[in-house]
Amino acid sequence: MKNKIMRVVIYEVLSQKKTLRMLFSLIIYSSCLNAQTIKYHVSATNFGKFSNEGACQAPFPIPGPGSEIRISDFSNNILANNTGNYEFNVPLKKYFVALGSCRRDIDPFLGVATLLTYEFNVPSGIDSFYEVKRYSGGSLSGELLGSLFYEKVDTNILNEINCRGLSLNVIPDVKPSDVLEWQYSFEGNLQTIASSQSKLSVNIDFNNFSVNFSEKIGKTIFFRYKLLGNVFSPLKAYTIVACSPELIKPVITNPITCGYSRDGEFTLNFKRDLNDNETLVITLYDSDDESVLFNQEFIDTLINNGDGTFGYTWQALLDAGNYKVKFQTHNDNNGIDTDDASWDSLEFSDSFTISKPDKVSFSITNISDKTCFNTNDGYIDVNATGESDRTFLYQLTKEQVVQFYNGTNWVDYSGTKANDETWFPFISKNNTKIGNLAKGNYRVKVKDSKGCFAR
């Protein structure tokens, strides 16, 4: 997407006073590739005028002859020579106004009267600034002289408005009495937000606003506020996104197979599918300490469960433990910036647990040697414990050679499928007798019906 920064300035000519009054100026920001993303928004006005008390000829335009307006950076470079709404690539240092001079009305030969000068100085390193200057004496005392609004803007931040709505806030320097109104621009129409005067913040209700957001998914709306002195905050863009699909509770989990394995899974099921160009972003957390385990996994396809619900199974296999997810959808295939207000508004899912089975263990409860030289009647009694719904198998090794029971005697196994042919089930749920043993040194291994070994 190419960067589009559009500045539209509309003036009204006041013929009687022969001056220009700025009605509004729009600077629209959008993110771009291969461009500077940090911009510096400046909105400056000047109301300098004179009172006709015999000092100067009337009528007289202000600024007058010899007047000067300078907007400059910290290297004293001139960024602009007029009032208005601007965006610059460097921070602002000063906004200076000299109102000029006029001929004296009583006796023109007395020379000229120099009108006042004033300036705004923006401290280094700050992200925002707002100040209003007023006349301090004479018949104009207390009236507006000029104003300046300044804000650092990161155009790379992707702002969104979703079903939770949106809370918009002014910069810290602004007081309630400074706020004239909040405005929004949608599809080329600039409108005032009702009852927004003197509000340091406004809440945009997704379901109760003059724009029907649910019918405008994927489109962009812009917000700004107007302050005393007719200066404006930057007009910031918010993409309208659908409400995230509702998560069906509880989260479905599959436990790890063995106490030592890492193959746990969970599945999220939602009440709707993803819309076109809608991406589901999921971050996985350890719910015990809320640390991030997997940051922002992107999903653009859900599985149709066939019952009106749609699911997604987490791709990475997991250890046993307690987890929760944070998720949101937005119309982009990139992550949500950590400074994005919509990320802060997201909710955790309920905690869910990937469990682990009881570990497999066993003990030799009895051993009997053979009773006669030519009779193989020795035996070993084994007791095993583990997951209650599983059965147990054993494998016998004699003198480090795996044994096979041929129906009569134990013999050395000579096949190629030891994992399939040399494991024998327990006689009962937890106990077995390994009989018909000849003299020798034996070793017993035990596993359960899921392949989990006693360790």
Q: What is the pLDDT, as a whole number, of residue 109?
A: 55
pLDDT single digits (tens) 412-440: 999 999 999 999 999 999 999 999 999 99
Percent with pLDDT over 90 in the chain: 65
Domain count of the fold of the chain:
4
In this structure, is residue 1 part of a structural domain? no
Same domain, 196 and 253: no
* Stretch among 80-94, 321-335, 412-426 having the lowest mean pLDDT: 321-335
In this structure, is residue 9 part of a structural domain? no
pLDDT single digits (tens) 375-388: 899 999 999 999 99
pTM summary value: 0.57
User: Over the range 131-152, which residues count as b (16 or more CB within 10 Å of their CB) and which as e?
Assistant: bbbebeeeebeeebbbbbbbbe
Q: What is the pLDDT, as a whole number, of residue 116?
A: 81
Range of the domain at 116: 39-153
Same domain, 231 and 279: no
Q: How confident is the model at residue 56 (pLDDT cuts 50, 70, 90)?
A: low
Q: What is the pLDDT, as a whole number, of residue 409?
A: 92
Give the chain's end-to-end CA distance (angstroms, integer): 58
Per-residue pLDDT for 339 more than 70? Answer: no
Q: How confident is the model at residue 155 (pLDDT cuts 50, 70, 90)?
A: confident
pLDDT single digits (tens) 120-133: 999 999 999 999 99
Same domain, 81 and 66: yes
Q: What is the CATH number of the domain that holds 404?
A: 2.60.40
Average pLDDT, stretch 225-244?
Answer: 92
Query: CA neighbours within 13 Å on the CB side: how many for 207?
Result: 3
pLDDT single digits (tens) 263-293: 999 999 999 998 877 788 899 999 999 899 9
Same domain, 108 and 210: no
In this structure, is residue 14 part of a structural domain? no
Per-residue pLDDT for 138 more than 80? Answer: no
* Stretch among 24-38, 91-105, 276-290 having the lowest mean pLDDT: 24-38
Q: How confident is the model at residue 296 (pLDDT cuts 50, 70, 90)?
A: confident
Average pLDDT, stretch 314-334?
Answer: 86
In this structure, is residue 13 part of a structural domain? no
Q: How confident is the model at residue 4 (pLDDT cuts 50, 70, 90)?
A: very low
Per-residue pLDDT for 7 more than 60? Answer: no
Per-residue pLDDT for 84 more than 50? Answer: yes
Per-residue pLDDT for 346 more than 50? Answer: yes
Contact 442, 369 (CB under 8 A): no
State the SS3 of the chain: CCCCCEEEEEEEEECCCCEEEEEEEEEECCCCCCCCCEEEEEEEEECCCCCCCCCCCCCCCCCCCCCEEEEEECCCCEEECCCEEEEECCCEEEEEEECCEEECCCCHHHCEEECCEEEEECCCCCCEEEEEEECCCHHHCCCEEEEEEEEEEECCCCCEEECCEEEEECCCCCCHHHEEEEEEEECCEEEECCCCCCCCEEEECCCCCCCCHHHCCCCEEEEEEEECCCEECCEEEEEECCCCCCECCCCEEECCCCCCCCCEEEEEEECCCCCCCCEEEEEEEECCCCCEEEEEEEECCCEECCCCCEEEECCCCECCEEEEEEEEEECCCCCCCCCCHHHHCCCECCCEEECCCCCCEEEEEEEECCCECCECCEEEEEEEECCCCCCEEEEEEECCEEEEECCCCEEECCCCCHHHHCCEECCCCCEEEEEEECCCCEEEEEEECCCCECC
Q: How confident is the model at residue 22 (pLDDT cuts 50, 70, 90)?
A: very low
In this structure, is residue 16 part of a structural domain? no
Per-residue pLDDT for 61 more than 80? Answer: no
Per-residue pLDDT for 58 more than 50? Answer: no
Percent with pLDDT over 70 in the chain: 82
In this structure, is residue 30 part of a structural domain? no
Q: What is the pLDDT, as a whole number, of residue 107?
A: 52
In this structure, is residue 26 part of a structural domain? no
| Domain stops at, among 206, 240, 274 | 240
Q: What is the mean pLDDT of the chain?
A: 85
| Domain stops at, among 183, 207, 240 | 240
